[in-house]
Chain A
Amino acid sequence: MERQIKAVALISGGLDSMLAVRVMQEQGIHVEGINFFTGFCVEGHTHAIRKRDQKKPKRNNALWVAEMLGIKLHIIDIVDEYKDVLLHPKHGYGANMNPCLDCKIFMVKKALEWMEKNGFDFIITGEVVGQRPMSQRSDTMPVVANQSGAMDRLVRPLCGRNLPATLPEREGWIRREGLYDFSGRSRKPQMALARQYGFTDWASPAGGCCFLTDEAYSHKLVDLWQSRSSRDYDLDDILLLKVGRHVRPAPHFKLIVGREEGENNFLEGYRKEFIHLRCESHLGPLVLIDGDPNVEEMRLAAAIAARYSQGRMADSVEVSVHYRDGREERLTVAPLDPTQMPPEWML
């Protein structure tokens, strides 16, 4: 009996990887998906945290894609290993703190390890030549194949006809004429192929799934490193950067202000690890303080918390300060006038 050829596909949850898998399934390849969790993924977290998003369907797009395709999906936690990719990208960053080329090399390398461990034959990605400014260019796509170690076992079904033949093509496992020759940033060929396959629903195509490509998020991340004089982070750090307003009145402390009930509930989970403020005389947000303000600065922090409470127009607001050692004190402050908050405080 002929051996079943098996491929592992990088599944982002977007349209391109979905199509790439289907193209290979059409050629009789058994495909399983792999999805990496870096901690910077846009999916899930913010929807889970923000109350106003809680009415939207909470679907993990990678799982949804796998179900649509009828393939297994293996989700891999790479939060710790990913630090080295983000902190020391050999190929540098994109427009923000996104190390896209190093990221793709790393993910293909991890997929290769998985492939070898599980007896699979090759790797699939939904990459398209010229689609992304950093990791999907004609000069960088060979870099991904080479530096990941996948070499000619990396197949890009959507643009394979624009690239040199891979091992699966040479071995006759897949037919080159069954691959596509997409290139450039246009999404029209993908949309047409999606219609051909009968796909009517997919997540926002081509990227947008990583917070590191977001300017505001990258700014907060760099601020975090600068305030600690150390380019390091843990999962809680990067989750907290996704939540609330971040206000830094001084280099040695910042406030994380819940913007609505869902965020306040999420921040509650961190109240034992941070000094936190609550407005007692009026409804207001939970405010975490990252750092150690002095007495005078604590009054400023309370005035900022009051500014975001329903007492913002009141003459004074009572704010409770809860220290990490369990002490509590009450401050009565005038809410800070927005004109007294320089724009550079807002991260």
Chain B
Amino acid sequence: MSETLDARRLLCPLPVIRTQDKVVTLSPGARLTVIATDPGVLNDIPAWCRINGHRVLATRQEGREIEIDIEVGGDES
């Protein structure tokens, strides 16, 4: 099952915080698509995923909108 998080208009680190808070509620293997407008997410969300054991599956950018697909890892704490 895939869920979507709307983080448009939020400036970093808020999109990361919202992603973190959402991921905590999801089970390992679940997928989350984050939609954001701050280009900072292109670095910050993958970095957050790497250090917390999640996987970025895909990143798309169209105009000012950025979508990042994440697969929740098995060790969220």
Contacts and interface: CB of A to CB of B under 8 A. Distances in A.
Interface residues of A, number: 32
A35 to B, nearest CB: 8
Interface centre among A41, A43, A57, A75, by most chain B C-beta atoms within 10 angstroms, is: A75
A223 interface: no
Interface stretch (A44-52, A86-94, A333-341): A44-52
B47 A64 contact: yes
A60 B51 contact: no
B16 A47 contact: no
A59 interface: yes
Contacts of B44: 44, 58-60, 63
Contacts of A71: 51
B17 interface: yes
Interface of B is mostly: helix
Contacts of B17: 37, 75-77
Nearest to B8: A269
Interface of A is mostly: mixed
Contacts of A132: none
Contacts of B9: 269
Contact of A44 (B11, B50, B51, B77): B11
Contacts of A265: 64
A187 interface: no
A44 B14 CA distance: 10
Contacts of B39: 48, 54, 58
B11 A48 contact: yes
B13 interface: yes
B59 to A, nearest CB: 14
Interface string B22-61: 0000000000000000111011100110111000000000
A323 to B, nearest CB: 22
Nearest to A66: B51
Contacts of A200: none
A67 B52 CA distance: 9
A103 to B, nearest CB: 18
A239 interface: yes
Interface of A: 32, 35, 37, 41, 43-45, 47-49, 54, 57-60, 62-64, 66-67, 70-77, 118, 239, 265, 269
